[in-house]
């Protein structure tokens, strides 16, 4: 696979960033400061964020990235998920870890690590994607927790974060198989709650859906600008605000209302149970699986 080294390069940087997150996450730290520090670290290493750094606390499962004036801080005893996306020339690494600030959540975090380990050993060319879901479900339930059934891993391709195939976290019976040449983000989510997530009515992560003309010159120009910078990858309202100020945010909201831009709703656990997540990016080659992020090695440090 000729582009393997680019997927690997993105993975190396993403792992460095998560290593930094391990040092920085502690009680009282502002989520805004943490996200900005990690994103600027990505840029300093010569890569770009493939999406805004997600920092999801306790029962928040995914898609929380600090907004422009976010005041939130890491609360005492929190379970903190840091999910990082890095791209080098469109080649993406998507990786996440969970830090428990209280020993009360150690078993939950351990179950999520175990689930990722089992998912990775089930993932090979020719395997059914559903078998990976079964492996995750079995691993998690054996530890007395629940997998989150409506969150899944995903295939990726250059500049595309979700390129069509899902890696379930429960048994689904789906017949699709893993193929040589594919790239997957594998991400079991584990909870002590109800086992599924629901949408909230807030969010700060966006993605261009269509560049079809809006009929309004200023909006078309903003839309083209966003497409040129991010293509179909998710971006933060913070990045728009930094470059275009309040006007940019206003335009962004109008583009959401006419469905040229998608706003990702923050996802919370339906039973308000704490959630843990670990995620790796793997490339399926003829010679086997190449794990570009190896997040579990980082956690053994």
Q: Enumerate binding residues for Mn ion (CB under 5 A).
A: 83, 94, 96, 185, 279
Give dist(CA 225, CA 222) in Å, integer: 5
Instruction: Specify the residue, 86 or 261, whose C-beta has the smaller distance to Mn ion.
Output: 86
Contact 51, 234 (CB under 8 A): yes
- Least Å distance, CB 268 to Mn ion, is 17
The answer to whether residue 154 is catalytic is yes
Would you call 83 a catalytic residue per the annotation?
Answer: yes
279 is catalytic: yes
CB of residue 84 to Mn ion, shortest distance in Å: 7
Nearer to Mn ion, 94 or 182 (CB): 94
If the CB atoms of residues 237 and 279 are measured against Mn ion, the closer one turns out to be 279
Q: Exactly one of 39, 59, 83, 280 is catalytic; which is it?
A: 83
- Indicate the SS3 state at residue 264: strand
59 is catalytic: no
Nearest to 189 by CA among 217, 151, 158, 227: 151
For the CA atoms of 229, 10, 147, 127, the dihedral, rounded to the nearest 10 degrees, stands at 110
| Shortest spacing between CB 11 and Mn ion, in angstroms | 13
Overall size of the chain counted in residues: 301
Q: Is 297 a catalytic residue?
A: no
Q: Is 23 a catalytic residue?
A: no
Q: How far is the CB of 44 from Mn ion (least distance, A)?
A: 21
CA 143 – CA 291 distance, rounded (Å): 25
Contact 276, 202 (CB under 8 A): no
Which listed residue (131, 137, 187, 280) is catalytic? Answer: 187
Nearer to Mn ion, 16 or 220 (CB): 16
Given 39, 118, 237, 279, the catalytic residue: 279
Q: Which of 57, 1, 7 is nearest to 32 (CA)?
A: 57
**Residues labelled as active-site residues:** 83, 94, 154, 162, 187, 279
């Amino acid at each position: 696979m000729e582009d393997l080294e680019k997927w690997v390069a993105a993975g190396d940087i993403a792992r460095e960033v998560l290593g930094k997150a391990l040092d920085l996450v502690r009680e009282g730290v502002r989520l805004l400061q943490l996200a900005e520090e990690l994103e600027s670290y990505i840029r300093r290493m010569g890569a770009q964020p493939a999406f805004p750094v997600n920092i999801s606390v306790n029962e928040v499962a995914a898609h929380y990235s600090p907004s422009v004036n976010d005041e939130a801080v890491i609360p005492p005893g929190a379970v903190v998920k840091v999910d990082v996306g890095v791209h080098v020339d469109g080649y993406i690494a998507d990786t996440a870890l969970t830090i428990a600030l209280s020993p009360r959540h150690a078993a939950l975090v351990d179950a999520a690590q175990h689930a990722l380990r089992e998912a990775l050993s089930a993932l090979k060319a020719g395997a059914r994607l559903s078998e990976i879901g079964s492996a995750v479900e079995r691993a998690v339930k054996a530890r007395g927790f629940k997998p989150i059934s409506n969150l899944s891993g995903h295939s990726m391709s250059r500049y595309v974060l979700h390129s069509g195939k899902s890696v379930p976290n429960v048994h689904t019976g789906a017949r699709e198989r893993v193929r040589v040449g594919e790239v997957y983000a594998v991400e079991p989510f584990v909870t002590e709650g109800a086992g599924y997530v629901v949408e909230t009515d807030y969010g700060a992560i966006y993605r261009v859906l269509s560049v079809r003309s809006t009929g309004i010159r200023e909006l078309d120009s903003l839309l083209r600008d966003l497409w040129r910078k991010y293509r179909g990858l998710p971006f933060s309202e913070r990045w728009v605000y930094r470059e275009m100020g309040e006007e940019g945010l206003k335009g962004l909201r109008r583009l959401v209302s006419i469905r040229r831009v998608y706003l990702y709703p923050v996802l919370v656990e339906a039973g308000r149970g704490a959630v843990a997540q670990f995620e790796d990016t793997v490339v399926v080659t003829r010679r086997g699986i190449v794990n570009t992020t190896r997040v579990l090695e980082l956690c053994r440090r």
